[in-house]
Structure 1
Amino acid sequence: MKNLCWVRQLDANEIYIIEEVAAIDQATENQRSTVGLGFWKPFIAVASRPDIMKRLFFGCMLFFWQNGSGINAINYYSPTIFESIGVSTGNIGLTTGIFGVVKCIMTVVWLLCLVDQLGRRKLLLIGGITGSVCMWIIGAYICVVEPQDHPRSSLNGGGIAAIFFFYLWTAVYTPTWNGTPWVVNSELFDPNIRSLAQAATTSNNWLWNFLVSRFTKQMFATMGYGVYFFFAALSLGAFVFTFFLIPETKGVPLEVMDRLFKTKPVWNAHKQLMSQLRIDEEQFRVNIKGSGLTNTNQKSEPEHVENGRRKLPQI
């Protein structure tokens, strides 16, 4: 209580502190009664709960689709990528450098402007469909022109268009599938098994990362332009997967994540749940005021739910 009051800069009898402590107490008692305390308890709990296993599968699949977009193939083999498009050896360093700059800029944009404004689900959907279109176009250009078999000293119009769509893919992928799966996975699981689930999904990410980086060179050697079609198909699969299975998690408390995944349809689950949570919060405040536990002398109470998001008092 003392630490919470210091962090929030509020007195112990403020309604927000009472509300937050009540949520923490409820989560702790829920873990004690459902999972139990101890190192092995979360493993046993995950194995015995199909709903958690389902969400764990979703979290792992997000990293499968992330690596299936081709990002690590490009990260590790960018000279090979640009050479396949037709970039001359002398310009590969420049094009690779621009690729890194675009990623850096769009990461900052994602952090400051997009992830909390557009939400996680919309970003994943936009990234999936746009990334697929870009990869289909790049693959089609290489298939028709065969730039490696017909080298040029400079790019023609089609080559410039292919490079444009490559950078467009980078600009769209970075603020969508690059970091958003990490955010979603941090929000999918209730506190009872969150640390175990995070470890499992992170390990899964590095498994796919290893497989992509290990076999990218062989894929280009045997598939040629088909590698781009392969990544395009996986990006389209990522769009379908997200649309039908991943609800919006923005602003949803970890303690009620089970309710989110039980709400149907998936594409409207967030709106329905946040509406219900606002009703529940108002009822909680009414009950607290009636019990006399809160400070009734305060002139006004801060709003804690705004547009579906919990708003904390400023420190």
Structure 2
Amino acid sequence: MAGVGLVHQGRTRQYEVKVTAYVLFSCFVAAMGGLLFGYDLGITGGVTSMDPFLIKFFPSVYKQMKLEKAHENGPYCRFNNELLTLFTSSLYLAALVASLFASNTTRILGRKTSMFLGGLFFLVGALLNGFAVNVAMLIIGRLLLGFGVGYSNQSVPVYLSEMAPPNIRGALNMGFQMMITIGIFFANLINYLTAAQENGWRYSLGMGAVPALLLCIASLFLGDTPNSMIERGEYGRAKIILHKIRGTQDVDDEFQDLIDVIEVARQVAHPWRNITQPKYRPQLTLCSFIPFFQQLTGINVIMFYAPVLFQSLGFGDDASLMSAVIAVAVNVMATMVSILSVDKFGRRVLFLEGGTQMLLCQVAVGTLIALKFGVKGEGSFTKSEADLLLLFICLFVAAFAWSWGPLSWLVPSEICPLEVRSAGQSINVAVNMLFTFGIAQVFLPMLCYLKFGLFFFFAGFLVMMTIFVALLLPETKNVPIEEMNSVWNSHWFWTKFVPQEVVSDHSSSNCKPSP
């Protein structure tokens, strides 16, 4: 059993917590929402490189791919087709819309209900895609999957942050990102195994229904978070859950603190309007710019279109799928690095190191492609050159997986006070999905027209985002989620917006002097 301190203007309240089997099970089930998101992130790139899929739904792309030499831009423009990119990007447009509705669902009905709805949308969408007979069914299925992403991404990070003890909140919250990477890995592996089959694309798209069904069933056995139950007036049940997740009967102090914070939050009738107030400027800024920058790392160039990208750069069909599997396997392993280090070294160190490593890798990949293909797209990689390219891509993926990947979900979910938490998380998801949609929709045309310059385009944003973190992100490791406002008062810039009295001082009469 370990004591976890809450800071109250120089004094510390000590809470006794254990890491219980119940909280680990709850966080594991909730994080399955990330598995579904990852599966849908990873599945489309492989499916859209399968000949039977293209022949059935996008015959013009298939002909264009086979007549590559007739195109003046060679491999850069092989897959450039607006309808094909809409198949991929429609999911993220739907997720953007859904995230706005999911905010109210998560607040009024609870985190658990939002997770169940997310799983249900995933289930129906995956079945529609697996049994699709025309493009309309594909797009409708992708839209439903997008609603699943919107609801899951809204509720799961908040659920994890509220359930986890403060001293391991980072690691448990990153279970969401870990599941995303596992989902991407299995999607690429399934694509590799089914690619040679006539209807392999149906298995790839339809198998997303399996984890969706598991999430729907398992979420029925979860308890909601104490924060959410108190917010809805279920005080008795909230205290029971708090006993179970803390592993002790001595939760009176923490329970009273939660009630005090939520009573203050209830006085905020319009969280969307209130988050624009100056005292919430840090939360609004970070919830907007962190997901914006995450999408402009260029990671989705790899995650969406890895097989397509590798094919475009001269890898064979099987080699391109296997290279994608290797890249996402690195993604899974590197995410473990983040889980093990985030609560030890903190968020800022991982952000800064990851941004620097990704920058160097983007420049290296862009340079290799420029030297080999030039502007006209003429040339091909030797095996050793292809291996070197794959190495830099894997190093890029690893850096993302232990920095901007998981931290872009963790930090926004833990920095917002309860009164604006649902709005803050909705902004995070909406901005993320807006730019995920944008990147998915324009990547293939950008590759066609910018050619190797696309990689230098993303490198420029990596410079900006690393400077942004260095200047404006304070360290939040081990800070209890309901006491996060204390970090803004000690920051050189944000203290101008956050008045001193915003630091929670409820129950201060019970606070003990810190040792």
Normalising by the smaller structure, the TM-score range is: 0.7 to 0.9
**Secondary structure at the counterpart of residue 252 of structure 1:** coil
Give the counterpart of 1:191 among 415, 418, 430: 418
Tell me, yes or no, if structure 1 residue 106 matches structure 2 residue 334: yes
* Matches of 1:255 and 1:190, distance apart in 2: 6
Tell me, yes or no, if structure 1 residue 214 matches structure 2 residue 441: yes
Give the counterpart of 2:432 among 180, 205, 214: 205
What's the offset of the Cα at 1:57? 2.4
For 1:280-299, what aligned pairs fall within 5 Å after superposition? 284-285=511-512
Asked if the contact 1:191/1:254 (under 8 Å) is kept, the reply is: no
* Matches of 1:247 and 1:99, distance apart in 2: 31
Asked if the contact 2:474/2:491 (under 8 Å) is kept, the reply is: no
Asked if the contact 2:313/2:380 (under 8 Å) is kept, the reply is: no
* Letter matched to residue 56 of structure 1: L
Q: Alignment length, in residue pairs?
A: 265
Q: CA 1:141–1:27 in 2, change beyond 3 Å: closer, same or farther?
A: same
Tell me, yes or no, if structure 1 residue 150 matches structure 2 residue 384: no
Tell me, yes or no, if structure 1 residue 254 matches structure 2 residue 481: yes
Give the counterpart of 1:137 among 364, 382, 392: 364
* Matches of 2:307 and 2:248, distance apart in 1: 56
Asked if the contact 1:56/1:201 (under 8 Å) is kept, the reply is: no
Deviations 1:22-49 (A, max 9, x none): 422331342245x25xxxx2223223x1
**Secondary structure at the counterpart of residue 199 of structure 1:** helix
* Letter matched to residue 200 of structure 1: I
Aligned to 2:450: 223
What's the offset of the Cα at 1:281? 8.7
Aligned to 2:464: 237
Tell me, yes or no, if structure 1 residue 57 matches structure 2 residue 291: no
* Matches of 1:103 and 1:76, distance apart in 2: 14
Give the counterpart of 1:19 among 234, 248, 253: 253
* Matches of 2:396 and 2:403, distance apart in 1: 11
* Matches of 2:246 and 2:257, distance apart in 1: 15
Tell me, yes or no, if structure 1 residue 42 matches structure 2 residue 276: no
* Matches of 2:480 and 2:427, distance apart in 1: 21
* Matches of 2:317 and 2:243, distance apart in 1: 61
Aligned to 1:176: 403
Tell me, yes or no, if structure 1 residue 165 matches structure 2 residue 392: yes
* Matches of 2:424 and 2:394, distance apart in 1: 34
* Matches of 1:89 and 1:266, distance apart in 2: 51
Asked if the contact 2:354/2:403 (under 8 Å) is kept, the reply is: yes
For structure 1, list consecutive stretches of 5 or more residues without a partner in the other structure.
268-275, 287-304, 307-315
Tell me, yes or no, if structure 1 residue 93 matches structure 2 residue 327: no
* Letter matched to residue 46 of structure 1: I
Asked if the contact 2:308/2:320 (under 8 Å) is kept, the reply is: no
Asked if the contact 1:69/1:235 (under 8 Å) is kept, the reply is: yes
What's the offset of the Cα at 1:259? 2.6
The 10-residue stretch of structure 1 (58-67 or 98-107) with the greater mean CA deviation from structure 2: 98-107
* Matches of 2:245 and 2:318, distance apart in 1: 55
For structure 2, list consecutive stretches of 5 or more residues without a partner in the other structure.
1-235, 495-502
* Letter matched to residue 149 of structure 1: E
Q: CA 1:70–1:136 in 2, change beyond 3 Å: closer, same or farther?
A: same
Moved over 3 A (4+): 4-11, 83-90, 280-283
Asked if the contact 1:84/1:142 (under 8 Å) is kept, the reply is: no
Asked if the contact 1:106/1:171 (under 8 Å) is kept, the reply is: yes
Give the counterpart of 1:72 among 300, 308, 332: 300
**Secondary structure at the counterpart of residue 345 of structure 2:** coil
The 10-residue stretch of structure 1 (211-220 or 250-259) with the greater mean CA deviation from structure 2: 250-259
* Letter matched to residue 189 of structure 1: C
> So what's the TM-score if we normalise by structure 2?
0.47
Tell me, yes or no, if structure 1 residue 28 matches structure 2 residue 262: yes
* Letter matched to residue 27 of structure 1: V
Aligned to 2:171: none
Identical pairs, percent: 26
* Letter matched to residue 72 of structure 1: N
* Matches of 1:151 and 1:44, distance apart in 2: 54
For 1:120-131, what aligned pairs fall within 5 Å after superposition? 120-131=347-358
**Secondary structure at the counterpart of residue 192 of structure 1:** helix
Aligned to 1:297: none
What's the offset of the Cα at 1:248? 1.3
What's the offset of the Cα at 1:245? 0.8
Q: CA 1:281–1:116 in 2, change beyond 3 Å: closer, same or farther?
A: farther
> So what's the TM-score if we normalise by structure 1?
0.75
